[in-house]
């Protein structure tokens, strides 16, 4: 039962404190990688926007997964 409570708490805390930074840093990282791959500044075309949105989505999913696992682990340790 502590695992479930911890996982829910982790997701709620991620939703409150981590959703916006994950979205922002994921989009920035995708834009930075596109800039490094092409070697020049990127134009705001549709493929570039899709890559930025995909980077933000991947960042959000990874952050939520880490928050879920960390919350479940801490919940199982402290809420026996």
**DSSP for 17-71?**
IIHHHHHHHHHHHHHHHHHHHHSSPPP--HHHHHHHHHHHHHHHHHHHHHHHHHH
Report if pTM > 0.85: yes
pLDDT digits (tens, 9 = 90+) for 17-74: 999 999 999 999 999 999 999 998 899 899 999 999 999 999 999 999 999 999 999 9
Residue 12, pLDDT score: 96
Instruction: Check pLDDT > 90 for residue 79.
Output: no
């Amino acid at each position: 039962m502590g695992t479930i409570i911890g996982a829910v708490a982790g997701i709620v805390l991620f939703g409150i404190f981590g959703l916006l930074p994950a979205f922002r840093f994921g989009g920035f990282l995708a834009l930075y990688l596109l800039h490094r791959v092409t070697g020049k500044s990127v134009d705001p075309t549709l493929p570039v926007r899709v890559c930025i949105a995909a980077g933000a989505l991947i960042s959000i999913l990874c952050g939520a997964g880490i928050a879920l696992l960390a919350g479940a682990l801490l919940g199982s340790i402290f809420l026996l």
